[in-house]
Homo-oligomer: A and B are copies of this chain.
Amino acid sequence: MEFSASQIAELLNGRIEGNPEVKVNKLSKIEEGELHSISFLANPAYQEFIYDTDASIVIVNNDLELERPVKETCTLIRVENAYECFAKVLETYSQAKSIEKVGIESNSHIAKTATLGENIYVGAFAYIGENVKIGNNVKIYPNSFIGDNAIVGDNTIVNAGVKIYHECVVGAHCTFHSGVVIGGDGFGFAPNKENDYTKIPQLGNVIIEDHVEIGANTCIDRATMGSTIIKKGVKLDNLIQIGHNVVVGENTVIVSQTGVAGSTKIGKNCLIGGQVGIVGHLTIADGVKIAAQSGVGHSITEEGKVVQGSPAYAMGEYKRSYVGFRKLPEILERLAELEKQIKVIDIKIWENRKP
């Protein structure tokens, strides 16, 4: 499998600077570039590597300004969005390389009442419950579990050891990584007279729309009533907690180890950093950005707002406060110095007083 610079430029609608005949047969990172490999440069922090890379082709942004020439062995392909275009190259490479799993391995358990689409894969020790509906081209890897009455849409990939509880609904073109749990009970207990807790039965489900990707060991709880909803295009990283009755809006991205408590509604196109905590029953507007490790205790109604801190508020203000935090030992010294000076001044004034 070998591609020339001109083939790739055509695929990407890009402009060649260098040798259009140079050929590549592997991928590399720019800082580890080898001859006959293709790489890319999107993050300015890596720009220094472009002058010394041995990669034969590097995809760069149209607006990249070089401070000096690259190596003679290096051909550039300029495109509007180097990162996105490299993704396209990877996709093409990946499709050419992967061997698709198809068929039903023996030792899987498929209930007689389940409905299966065409061209699917069901691995050994995968469990498909009563009345489950599996779409076309779905891949269900070994040791995964799909509970009674659940639905999985076309082209979705369920990796090894994913658990989807009964009644949950999954859309098309989704990918779930190992250890994902969809539809465990929400965390609802009512204190009672015996001074312990009565469990609130969790009778709702989880609905996951199309084109959602969910990282390893992330948990999405079923609703008490109604549905916990993950909308179209949402991307969730690993080890995230989504509480019961939460709604995550379209194309929102959440980084690993973040937790969203019950009944909170998150808007679309939000970017939520890692290890963020969001309390329950809030509303987060569209396009909001939340810095990593923040704690959100109140609804955010302003679209596109950027917040940080625990509790979180405007990021710019938080950063200024944190500068002050680092100066607190100095602030205490300056305060003590002022108090001393004031005393001295008081004495001087007394000495200077009018007779």
- Which of these, B123, B184, B191, B323, contacts A178 with CB under 8 Å? B184
Contact of A29 among B45, B226, B324 (CB under 8 A): B226
Task: Tell me if A239 and B241 are in contact (CB < 8 A).
Answer: yes
Would B109 and A142 count as touching, CB distance under 8 A?
yes
Q: Which residue in B219, B238, B317 is a CB contact (below 8 Å) of A329?
A: B317
- Across the two chains, which residue of chain B brings its CB closest to A257? B259
A211 at the interface (CB under 8 A from B): yes
Q: How large is the interface on A (under 10, 10 to 19, 20 to 34, 35 or more residues)?
A: 35 or more
Contact of A190 among B45, B83, B184 (CB under 8 A): B83
Please provide the chain A residues from 216 to 256 with a CB less than 8 Å away from any CB of chain B in the complex. 216-217, 219, 221, 224-226, 233, 235, 237-239, 241, 243, 245, 250-251, 253, 255-256
Residues of the B chain whose Cβ atoms lie less than 8 Å from the Cβ of A277: 257, 274-275, 292-293
Partner of A187, one of B211, B256, B310, B349: B256
Say if the beta carbon of A338 comes within 8 Å of chain B.
Answer: yes
Which of B184, B189, B293, B322 is in CB contact (< 8 Å) with A253? Answer: B189
Also in contact, A342 and B345, with CB within 8 A (given A127-B160, A200-B90): yes
Q: Is A346 an interface residue (CB 8 A)?
A: yes
Min CB distance A30 to B, Å, is 10
Contact partners of A251 in chain B: CB under 8 A: 195-197
The 0/1 profile, CB within 8 Å of B marked 1, for residues 54-92 of chain A is 000000000000000000000000000101101110110
Chain B residues with Cβ under 8 A from A338's Cβ? 335, 338-339, 342
How far is B94's CA from A43's CA once the two chains are assembled, in angstroms? 51
Q: A165: CB under 8 A from chain B?
A: yes
> A161 to B159, Cβ gap below 8 A?
no
Taking A27-B203, A184-B216, A197-B253 as known contacts, 13 extra A-B pairs with beta carbons closer than 8 A to each other, sorted by chain A number, are A81-B192, A94-B201, A142-B145, A179-B181, A179-B219, A196-B251, A215-B219, A215-B221, A275-B295, A317-B329, A321-B328, A331-B331, A348-B353
What would be 26 A-B contacts, judged by CB atoms less than 8 Å apart?
Answer: A28-B226, A29-B226, A29-B245, A81-B192, A86-B190, A87-B199, A87-B200, A90-B203, A93-B201, A93-B203, A127-B160, A159-B184, A161-B163, A175-B185, A177-B185, A181-B217, A187-B235, A216-B219, A217-B219, A217-B239, A219-B256, A261-B274, A323-B329, A327-B332, A342-B345, A352-B352
